[in-house]
Amino acid sequence: MDRRGFVSSGMVAGLAGLTGSSGAVASLLERSGVWRIGKTLADGTVRLSSNENPLGLAHGARQAVVEHLVDANRYPGDWRRPLVEALAGHVGVDVDNLVMGAGSTEVLQMAVQAFSGPRATMVIAEPTFEDVPRYQRPFAYDLVSVPLTSGMAHDIGRMREVAESAGRPAVVYFCNPNNPTGTVTPSADIDAWIADAPETTCFLMDEAYYEYVDDPSYWSALKWIESKPNVIVVRTFSKIFGMAGMRLGYGIAHPATARRLSDFISANNTNVLACAAGVASLQDDALVARSVSVNTEAKEIAQQTLDGLGLEYLPTQTNFMMHRIHGDLGNYIERMRQSGIRVGRPFPPMLAWNRVSFGLPEEMDRWAEALRSMRTMGMI
Ligand X SMILES: Cc1ncc(COP(=O)(O)O)c(C=O)c1O
Contacting residues toward ligand X, per CB under 6 A: 51, 103-105, 129, 175, 179, 206, 208, 236, 238, 244, 249
Closest approach of ligand X to the CB of residue 300, in Å? 22
Closest approach of ligand X to the CB of residue 322, in Å? 13
Residue of minimal CB distance from ligand X?
Answer: 103
Nearer to ligand X among residue 193 and residue 237 (C-beta):
237
Closest approach of ligand X to the CB of residue 25, in Å? 30
Nearer to ligand X among residue 76 and residue 103 (C-beta):
103
Closest approach of ligand X to the CB of residue 176, in Å? 9
Continuous segment of H or E residues that includes residue 107: helix 104-114
CA distances from 338 to 279, 351, 370 (A): 39, 20, 10
Count Cα neighbours of 249 within 13 Å in the Cβ-side half-sphere: 26
Nearer to ligand X among residue 79 and residue 129 (C-beta):
129
* Strand partners of residue 143: 122
Closest approach of ligand X to the CB of residue 371, in Å? 23
* CB-count burial class (<10 Å; 0-12, 13-18, 19+) for 326: middle
Asked if residue 252 lies in contact with residue 222, where contact means CB atoms within 8 angstroms, the answer is yes
Nearer to ligand X among residue 18 and residue 91 (C-beta):
91
The total number of residues written for the chain in this structure: 380
Q: How far apart are CA 317 and CA 219, in angstroms?
A: 12
* Among candidate residues 367, 294, 290, 301, the one with its CA nearest the CA of residue 335: 367
Nearer to ligand X among residue 238 and residue 295 (C-beta):
238
For helices 23-31 and 3-20, angle between their N-to-C axes, nearest 10 degrees: 140
CB count within 10 Å of CB 13 equals 11
Closest approach of ligand X to the CB of residue 145, in Å? 16
Nearer to ligand X among residue 93 and residue 208 (C-beta):
208
